Structure 1
Amino acid sequence: MNDQRNTHSLVIGYLLWIFGFMGAHRFYYGRPISGTIWFFTLGLFLVGWIIDLFLIPAMDRSADRRYQPGPNDYSVAWLLLTFLGVFGIHRFYMGKWITGILYLCTIGLLGLGILYDYWTLNGQIDEINRAA
């Protein structure tokens, strides 16, 4: 597949899989419903988490087909959300300065904004990239 269509990283997918019993890799690949289920059931009691070790390449290909590449990198945004989300750094990265400042002043809208972004970040970046 052309590197230009490679919107998500297989390496980051596997790194997030390490914490996958909490659904991180599933959110990253645009599967928020199963990510939420993994979060509340510890990766379907670790069975689903182990099975995902073999499913990650297919999830990566699916995300690469589904989302539009562009100026905003999905992996960068996800890393910023994961590690600096309470400060809104991922929102600044996407050019959403007002909500970035709001997250900065409210600890990610008391965590609810971060949860919202876990569900919608891929779609937000896709929308920005399509507009570019």
Structure 2
Amino acid sequence: MITSSEKNWLITVLLCFFLGGLGAHRFFVGKIGAGIVMLVTLGGFGIWSLIDLIVIIAGNFKDSEGNLIKYE
């Protein structure tokens, strides 16, 4: 069963929007490995960050434990 994450949706959106190329939102939700890859590739040259932003806003982004980060 998928539950809601304790991570704040608004903080995740803002981190992705302003620091997505550095993977800050991935580090925030506990996805350290993906955060490092995003940091090295500058957010997949911006494409990966844009996709993440869309997924976060849609409410389908998950934290490191598989819980959805949703607007509440």
TM-score for both structures, normalised by structure 2: 0.74
How far the C-alpha of 1:70 sits from its partner, in A, is 3.3
Aligned equivalent of 2:18, options 83, 94, 97: 83
Question: Does the Cα contact within 8 Å between 1:88 and 1:100 map onto a contact in 2?
Answer: yes
Percent of pairs identical after alignment? 32
AA aligned to 2:36 is I
| Aligned structure 1 segments of 4 or more residues deviating by more than 3 angstroms | none
In 1, Cα distance between equivalents of 2:23 and 2:54: 15
Q: How does 1:63-102 map to 2 (within 5 A)?
A: 69-102=4-37
Structure 2 stretches lacking a partner, 5+ long: none
In 1, Cα distance between equivalents of 2:41 and 2:5: 30
Structure 1 stretches lacking a partner, 5+ long: 1-67
Which structure's residues are more often helix, by fraction? 1
What root-mean-square deviation, in Å, do the aligned CA atoms of Structure 1 and Structure 2 show?
Answer: 2.1
Q: How does 1:52-131 map to 2 (within 5 A)?
A: 69-121=4-56, 122-125=59-62, 127-129=66-68
AA aligned to 1:128 is N
Larger Cα-atom Rg: 1
Q: How does 1:36-51 map to 2 (within 5 A)?
A: none
Figure out how many residues of one structure are paired with residues of the other and give that number. 63
How far the C-alpha of 1:97 sits from its partner, in A, is 0.8
